[in-house]
Every structure is written in C-alpha cells, then in structure tokens.
Structure 1
Amino acid sequence: MKLFLKIFFILFCVFVQAQKKHYFLIDTETKVKKKVKDSLSAVKFLDSLAQNNYFFTELKDVKIKGDSTEIFYDKGKNFNQTYVNLSDSIVDRFKLEKEFFTKNLDSVKKNINKKYIDDGFAFSRIKSQFKGQKNGIPVVELDINKNNKRTIDGFVAKGYTRVPKRFIKNLEKEFKGKTYDDKNLIAINKNFQSHPFITLERQPQTLFTKDSTQIYLFMEKKKTNTFDGVIGFGNDKTDKFTLNGTLNVNFKNMFNGFEAVNLYWQRNPDKGQTFDLQTDIPYLFNSNVGLNMKVNIFRQDSTFANVKALPAFYYHLNSRQKIGLRGTFESSAILDSLYIQGKDYNKKGIGIFFDMTEPTDIDLFLHKSKINVGYDFLATNYTGENIKANQNQFYFFGEYNYHINGNHFLNIKGEGAMMDSKIDFSANELYRFGGWNSLRGFNENSLAADFYYYAGMEYRYLIGNQAFFDVFGQYGQLNNKSLNVKPKLYSVGLGFNFFIPLGLMSFQLSNGNEFGNPFKFNDIKIHWGILSRF
C-alpha cells in the first residue's frame, strides 16, 4: 500500500511540473540510472519489479531539478522462493493444488503461462500479488489475464505466389480454425520442409488484429528440373565387358502448377532398352484429383518388344499421401520367330495404388521415407494361341532413412512383386529387375521372375552436408516358373556421394551373385552418375 501511495505522489509531482521533459529512475543499491520517457513509463517499471519477485520494492525519494525528475528506489531482495496461492480459475482449469511452496517461482509462472498459450491464449499474462509473509517467506497469489483465444483464420502468400490455388486451400483445410500454438506452427512449417517445388524464405510470420489471426507465408520457387545420368561398367552374360547407362530428365513446375514431365531411357549390357514418358498433373481443375499418364516401351535386342500405357487418376489424402485408380493397356510382339519362350499377347485391366512420401531435411537424401503399394487385375489374351486368362499382380516398395546418431544413418529398403495366373507365363511378360536402383551388383534388368523380393541395409556416414560414404548389403529371392528356378541372391558394395558445382555425383562399386556360387572379382559392377538441378 505504501508503494502505491508513493507512486501516486510521483504522478502528482509530475502533474505539477508538467512542463518538465526528462525522467530518471535510479537504483539506490546499484546506482544504475535509467532514463524513461514519461511518468507513466516510470510507474510501469516500478510495477513490473513488484510483478517479478521484487515484492518489497520501495520508493525512497523524488528530486526535481530544473527540467529533470529523478526517482530513487530500492527494489529489495528477489524472492524466487515463495508460498504460492493459485486463483480458482487456474486451479479449476489445470487441476493443480491451490496452495504450495516452490523454490522457483519463475518456473511456476512460466509453466502455467505456457499451458494457456498452448490452449490458444497467445497474449496471456500471469499476474502476481503479494499477500504477506509466512515464516519470513513471501506469500504470492497468481492469477491469469488470458485475453482472447486465438485460432488460425487464414494464410497470406507472399513472394512466389503463383502456386496452385488448391495448395493454399489444402493448407486452410488442414489448419484453419485450429488453435494458434507452437505445435500447429511447427506443423505448418514442416509442410514446406523439402517440398519438391517451393520453400520458405523465412519462418511463417503472424499478423494479429482484433478479430483475426493471419499466417504470412514468404515462399520462393525451387530449382526443380533435374538431369540424372548414370554410366555403368560390367560384364554381360558372355563375360564380355560392356558399357551401359541411364538418362533420366525431369521438367517440373514449369507452368507453376506443380506438374511434372519425366523422360527416362536405359540401356543394359544385354542389349535391352527401356524408354519411359510420364506426365503428372496433381491438381486437375483446381481440385485434389490428379492425373498421371505413363507410357513404357521395352525392347530386348531383336527378340521382342513390349509397349505399356498406364493412365491413372488419384486423390490427395494430404500433402504426403495419395490413393488412386489406374488402367493398364499392354501389348507384346515377338520379333524373332526362333524365340519360342515368348508369346504375343495383349493385356488390359484396372488397379489401385497408394503412395506416401515423407520429406527429408538432408539434401543428400531424396526423402526420409517412401511407401508405394499397388494391385492390378488384368485380362490377358495370348493372340497367337487364342488363349485368354486373368492375372493378379501385386507390388510393394518401401524405404526409410533412420538417423542412428550424429552423422550416422541407416537406409532400409525393400521391394517385391508377384503375378498370379492359372496358366504359365511367357518369358516376355515377366518382371525385370536388378541394377543401380534395385538389386545392385547385377546388370540392369537382367533378372526375370513372376515373383521376387529383395531387402537391404545401407550404412551412411555424412561428411558435413556435402557428401556421404556408404556400405551396403542386400538379400533377395526370385521365382521363375517357366525355368523352374528359385535362386537366393545377395549383393554387397560401397560408394561415395558428394556435391560438386554440377550437382550430386555418385560413385559405386557392387557385386551380386547367387548363394553357393564362388565370388568373382570380374563380376564387380562400377556405376558413376550425376544428379543436376536446373
């Protein structure tokens, strides 16, 4: 009470000397002199001391000298050890004890205030009131000034704004109306981490008005076009040294619709060639429905050629997951009449698929995790023999980058596929796998099967954020009914990946073989590649 009477005296003196311009607060203990702009600022400063554990702040003297007013005060001892008496509103909301002793009043106030902030009261303030002493220790009552609860009311795009409208609508659908707190702000920011097309120049900013809370997103467009080239060296089936390679060019977001066009070509040592053309439009007519069109052509030297079209529509479950329907139209023609293992056929059918991709914060990795699962029902017509049969096909791919600790990571990857039918499959319709992006240590697409799986682990040691060294091992098995073989396979190897001005360069040595066969150094495969963004 004495403190407030003395503060009233200050205000009275200031009123009398209204023409005076300079105000100084002087700590009698430390002699620290603090200038404030007016009398109201002086009162707020002294009140803040009482609110921050200096419960016995005492006004000592006020001296007026010409155009200066000097206010002398003694803040006394800082009592962080107190008896706490909580207001009924705090007790009822968080089910806390009404009275207790604490050795850290600051921590108690901070924890209570954080609970209110997490509930959306962004401008809540804990009020302290000195209620006397108990055994020489202050008794303090804590109450809350909550102000209004804040929820996220919308987003405002800044910087690169030519993003699909549906992208912003999806953000609003996910976050609009939710509590304004750290948890949701982190989730919003995470939506942009390693987004394939855009990034944030800075953390999301917030504009508070009396009636709304708007999140400002300062976006910028990424360089997303990529060129991925791989050159491979190894021996073919006749142990002859051959050169093979892969070219993969992606044009992405050129028209600011998050669209993508992919061109892929591959040549393997056994004279097989693959060509893919794929187009993806993620937001058709400003909706969450996307369109994917893919054409695949495979030719095995002068033996046979396959052509496959895969039109698909999918729906965005959220920013990382999608589910879709796809059609399959495939035909194969035997080019060499002496190739009796193959058959001319036509296939058509429908399937479903699910895709999930979790982004990564590490530029050296493509993603943190990825899952792709699919099922197709196909009607097959073997035209040369006038035989018809139905087929079921299943596919799974999964990958996860596990952070062990520090610079140590473990990449876990697995893939499998199966086709099922009442009749035997021809050799030209089997799955083809093996090589750089699947079971390494084998030539590209050199393994053929109606059922296969493989899984592997790759230890990665990061050197800063510019390179990593890896050692890997893989195990797999395939089933080829037409040849009546079920070999168990393995591959081992090591590699080095690092950034250069052109992009991410990769170098890898690998060796794969069937269990039971002797290890041959001349079967080692060498791959060198570069991934460049432009």
Structure 2
Amino acid sequence: MQLLIEGKSDVETKLIDSLNYSNYHLDYSSIETEIDSLRKRLFNIGFIENKLENVTKFNDSTFFALIYLKKKIDTIYIYYNDTVLNKDLINSISYQIHKDHFILPIDKTEESLNYLNSKIAEDGFPFAKLKLIDIKAKDSSSLQAKLIIESERTKRNIDQIIIKGYEKFPKSYLKHFVKIKPSQVFDLNTIKKKTSLLNDLKFANEIKPPEVLFTEDSTSLYLYIEKRKSNSFDGFLGFGTNEDNGKLKFDGYLNLSLINNLNYGETFNLTYKSDASEQKSFNANLKTPYLFGSPLGAELELRIFKKDSSFTTVNQKARTFYQVNPKNTIYLGFTSTQSNDLLSQNTAGLITDYDSKYYSIGYQHTSSLSDNILFPYTSSFYFETGFGQRKIEGVSEKQNLTSLDGFKIFKLNHTNSIYFRINSGALFSDNYVENELLRFGGINSIRGFEENSLVASLYGLINSEYRIQFARNLYIHSILDFAYFENEIALQKEKLYSFGLGFGIINKAGLLKFNYANGKIENQKFKFSNSKIHISLIADF
C-alpha cells in the first residue's frame, strides 16, 4: 500500500515531504502508525496544533492523508524554581536564562528536558520526573509553561555492594580501581561505565551488567563477576650451531607467573634462565596492590645473575606505586646491587667487586584488554630512570641508569596488523666495569642472537613484525629487528640486524610460538650458521 500525505498548501506539503515519512506499507494499521509518527514529529518542531483532516482511500493500493499544520511555535518560556533547579545546569541547555525562567527553541524542548532529567538522576535522584504544566500561548510564536520536578526528598546513596559469582573478589579493587564504594551517590549509568573496567583485569571480568535493589530506605548494588584463569607458565627452547666447534648448542628459560591466587590481586613471577654460554639468571618478583586498603601498592624484586666463573651479581629492588587510573601507574623505588669477582686473577681490572644504590622513578601506561586471544594488549609503555652511586673499594662514583620499553599494534584490517616495539637502556658513568654493563639479545630482545650475549653501556633496539591472522588461534609473522649499542670499555659501537619468520598457535597446551631468525652485525657476511630457532610455550592455568 502507498501513502501520500499533503498539507493545506504547496509550502506545507513540501515541509511534510522533507520529514521523509515512509510511503509504502503492508497494511492499513501500518499507515495509521506512520501518520501518528509524522504528527508527533510535526509537534516536536513547533506545529503543536497540527490537525489530521481526513484519510481518503484513492484505490485499493493508495491512501491520501490531509494534515493542516496551522501556525508554528518557535520558542517556549519555561518558568522554574531556582531553589530546586541549579542555574549552572540550565546553562548547559539554554543561552537565554533569567531569574525565574529560561527560553528554549521548541524543537529542542524534549531533548533538553530529557538531559535535565538524566543529570538530576545522576545526582542521586533516580526516580526524578520532569513535566511541564500550565502550558499556554505567550504570543503568536511562543508558549510559556511551568516546570515541575517530582522526586524523592533525599538523595539515593549506595548502601551496600553485593558481589555475585566471585564473592572473594578483592574489595580494594572496587574502591581504588573501579572507584565505587558505599555511601557514594547512586548513578546507574556512571556505575555501568566504571564496572566495565573490570574486564581490563587479568584475573576477573564482568559477566553481566550491574543491578540495583531499591527499598524504601536503602539502595543495594549487585555486581556479577567471575574469576578467570590468570596463572601462566612460559618457556622456550633455542638452539643453533657453535661457531668454534660446530656442535649444536641449546639455551632456554622457564617463567612462572601466579596472579591473584590469594584473592588480593597480587602477582608473583619467577624466572630461571640458563644458556649455552654458562650464563644463569634467577628473578623473583612480588607485586601487591592496594596495601591495607590504601591506594598505594608495593613491589619487591630479587635478581641473581652468574656469568660462568667470572662474576655474580645480586640485585634487590623495592618500589611503591600509585595507580592514577586503570591505565596509568607511577613508581618510586630503591635498588641495591652487589657484584662479586669470581676470578682468582683479573689483571685487566675489567671485572671487580662493587656495590651500588639507586633511587628511581618510573611511569607505566597499559592499554585495555582486547577480545583477541592472541594479542590481548594493543599497546604498552614503561619508562624508568634511576640516580645513585657505585662504590668500588671505598671510592664512590655517581651514576644514572635509564630504561624504556614500549610496543604498539597497528591494526590494518581484520587479519593484518603491524607490531612495533622499542626497547632501550643506558648506564651513564665516568668509568665502567664489565660486570655492571647491560646485557641483551634473544627471543625477548633482538632475535637471531644468543640470550644475553650482547654487552653494552648503551643500547636501543626495534622489533617489528608484519602479522597475518588466519584464524582466532593462528597467525604467522615476519621478523625484522634492528639494534644499536655502545660498549665504553671495549670502545665498541655496533649496528645489528635480524631477519626471519615465525608463527603462533593456540592449542590445548597453550600458546606455542616458533621463530626462525638470522642475526648479523653490520658489514658482516650473511651466514646460515648464525641462524637461531626459538620455541616457546605459554600455558594458562
């Protein structure tokens, strides 16, 4: 069926046509609904006296409707009680405000009153209702009306928060991470926005929107949360050819991460690494957020590094941190390092016993979790700088240590993306000893080189990958890495390159990663024997 609507004149008909009403309908009931909808739209733009004159059936498939628009109202004068309605709130909807009334364009009236109603609800009055009474003509193009607000006498505050599903969820995360607590003014829209942040946690997520139970004298907020698997076991095996004897050599590491096992939101990481160069490292880290219900957290770290029979270094770090918001964190810390020379004779004096102490400040930014199980985070950034001194045989020397690590995934389309990472470190000192220099290289650094085989006083590296995701659990990628480092002791400045391919796949055991990379120094000839194969497996439990 076809519907044609006309006005009293060509001008009125043209205006009706500009509202783009639907011409074609399945039955007469749909035609009636469309006419009512059009009249409401005419009312909202100022033709409040519009009148349906008649509906005529022209033939079996065509109906004509005649609507008289009559005069148009342009503005409405709304009178209000300034002790009930805040004038600052009216400023957000009207530019013409007087002591006892404000003026609105007639076509903005419904939208503006809905906005006022939502703001009053956000202020702790969820059952507030606004209505206009005593509506009458003020002049030929204006109306006047009185604004009435019906609401409870007292504000609604959150009296209690009840968690369903994961009853042992750490309450400090509600107060400091989500920023919801009892006695807070009730606003459901704001609460929903805040609780959605729970999905950014590694150990929990929201399973459905919050609900509210109102009684005459209390307001109970129900949150529905579930605990998710957050522990992980990470390991890799690397192998290549020894350039000296031509034999196959292996290196690898194990990394255990335990998150929220005590239901405090705590994180414990344990890493042990051993490689073919007889280098061994041990790292234990404990991070506890929101100590004693405060917004501050603490982090303790122990690192032990042993270089064959040359030296050992023990690094102890204590930091406190403040989470500004779910994405940004500020750190303050203290680091103590002790290194011992294991060589019976060290005529060159490049390795020696030393002690150092640093005070540091750091900043971390982490993006929200994504729904991609292969790439859960889209970006991250961490910067830390420390100031302190190193002491050798009672002689102190000022030093400065900085580090930076950040990555970003640039999504090109549904299946293609580019991964880009920058990592750097620098030790600034007047003099250096070998056992305090920075070490890098390997699967988590520049690929195609042995783990921690590169020693530098300053280094910077770029990891890049072009990724193609074939399925939710499978992707392949290219490897193109670049690094530059300086070694002040060896007076060495080098540029490094790495090329290769890899893939990642999620199976029942976890995330399996395979990388094949060939690393070379600038001006060095390409050799297949320099290639490294890295295999790692990350299993969640």
TM-score by length of 2: 0.74
**DSSP-derived class of the 1:166 partner:** helix
Distance 1:374 1:236 in 2: 36
1:422 is matched with: 430
2:378 is matched with: 368
Distance 2:295 2:369 in 1: 24
Give the conservation status (yes or no) of the 8 Å contact 1:51–1:127.
Answer: no
Cα offset, 1:443, TM superposition = 1.0
Give the conservation status (yes or no) of the 8 Å contact 1:291–1:312.
Answer: yes
Give the conservation status (yes or no) of the 8 Å contact 1:116–1:124.
Answer: no
Unaligned 5+ runs, structure 1: 1-27, 33-46, 59-75, 103-107, 133-138
**DSSP-derived class of the 2:503 partner:** strand
Give the conservation status (yes or no) of the 8 Å contact 2:180–2:191.
Answer: no
Alpha-carbon distance change, 494 to 95 in structure 1, aligned in 2, over 3 angstroms: farther
**DSSP-derived class of the 2:175 partner:** helix
Distance 1:426 1:80 in 2: 91
List aligned pairs for 1:20-169, cutoff 5 A. Answer: 30=29, 85-89=74-78, 94-95=93-94, 115-116=115-116, 119=119, 121=121, 153=158, 155-169=161-175
Cα offset, 1:448, TM superposition = 0.6
2:253 is matched with: 246
1:449 is matched with: 456
Cα offset, 1:410, TM superposition = 2.3
Two-structure CA RMSD over aligned residues (Å): 4.3
List aligned pairs for 1:228-307, cutoff 5 A. Answer: 228-236=234-242, 238=244, 240-307=247-314
Which amino acid letter does the alignment assign opposite residue 222 of structure 2? Y
Cα offset, 1:193, TM superposition = 2.3
Q: Which moved further from structure 2: 466-475 or 288-297?
A: 466-475
**DSSP-derived class of the 1:405 partner:** coil
Give the conservation status (yes or no) of the 8 Å contact 1:430–1:449.
Answer: yes
**DSSP-derived class of the 1:202 partner:** strand
Alignment of 1:195 with 2:223, yes or no, is no
Alpha-carbon distance change, 188 to 352 in structure 1, aligned in 2, over 3 angstroms: same
Alignment of 1:528 with 2:523, yes or no, is no
Give the conservation status (yes or no) of the 8 Å contact 1:265–1:276.
Answer: yes
**DSSP-derived class of the 2:443 partner:** coil
Alignment of 1:345 with 2:377, yes or no, is no
Which amino acid letter does the alignment assign opposite residue 397 of structure 2? A
Q: Which moved further from structure 2: 296-305 or 202-211?
A: 202-211
1:40 is matched with: none
Which amino acid letter does the alignment assign opposite residue 365 of structure 1? F
Distance 1:249 1:84 in 2: 71
1:407 is matched with: 415
Give the conservation status (yes or no) of the 8 Å contact 1:152–1:215.
Answer: no
Q: Write the deviation string for residues 367-392 of structure 1: whole angstroms up to 9, x where unpaired.
A: 22222211222322223xx5432211
Distance 1:325 1:99 in 2: 53
2:366 is matched with: 357
Alpha-carbon distance change, 89 to 465 in structure 1, aligned in 2, over 3 angstroms: farther
1:216 is matched with: 222
2:333 is matched with: 326
Alpha-carbon distance change, 257 to 128 in structure 1, aligned in 2, over 3 angstroms: same
Which amino acid letter does the alignment assign opposite residue 94 of structure 1? I
Q: Write the deviation string for residues 378-427 of structure 1: whole angstroms up to 9, x where unpaired.
A: 322223xx54322111111112223233232222211111111222x111
2:176 aligned to which of 165, 170, 176: 170
Give the conservation status (yes or no) of the 8 Å contact 2:442–2:451.
Answer: yes
Give the conservation status (yes or no) of the 8 Å contact 2:441–2:452.
Answer: yes
Which amino acid letter does the alignment assign opposite residue 407 of structure 2? E
Query: Identity, % of aligned pairs?
Result: 26
Give the conservation status (yes or no) of the 8 Å contact 2:501–2:515.
Answer: yes
**DSSP-derived class of the 1:204 partner:** strand
Alignment of 1:468 with 2:475, yes or no, is yes
Give the conservation status (yes or no) of the 8 Å contact 1:227–1:531.
Answer: yes
Alpha-carbon distance change, 229 to 172 in structure 1, aligned in 2, over 3 angstroms: closer
Unaligned 5+ runs, structure 2: 1-26, 44-49, 54-64, 80-89, 97-102
Cα offset, 1:219, TM superposition = 0.5
**DSSP-derived class of the 2:208 partner:** coil
Q: Which moved further from structure 2: 249-258 or 194-203?
A: 194-203
Q: Write the deviation string for residues 135-192 of structure 1: whole angstroms up to 9, x where unpaired.
A: xxxx99999887659988475432212122221112564798689475x456424412
Which amino acid letter does the alignment assign opposite residue 366 of structure 2? T
Distance 1:222 1:264 in 2: 23
Distance 2:511 2:403 in 1: 29
Cα offset, 1:487, TM superposition = 0.4
Which amino acid letter does the alignment assign opposite residue 344 of structure 1? D
**DSSP-derived class of the 2:352 partner:** coil
Alpha-carbon distance change, 56 to 308 in structure 1, aligned in 2, over 3 angstroms: same
2:438 is matched with: 431
Q: Which moved further from structure 2: 484-493 or 206-215?
A: 206-215
**DSSP-derived class of the 2:472 partner:** coil
Distance 1:522 1:300 in 2: 25
1:24 is matched with: none
Alpha-carbon distance change, 346 to 503 in structure 1, aligned in 2, over 3 angstroms: same
Distance 2:316 2:351 in 1: 20
Distance 2:387 2:145 in 1: 67
Cα offset, 1:210, TM superposition = 7.4
Distance 2:111 2:362 in 1: 46
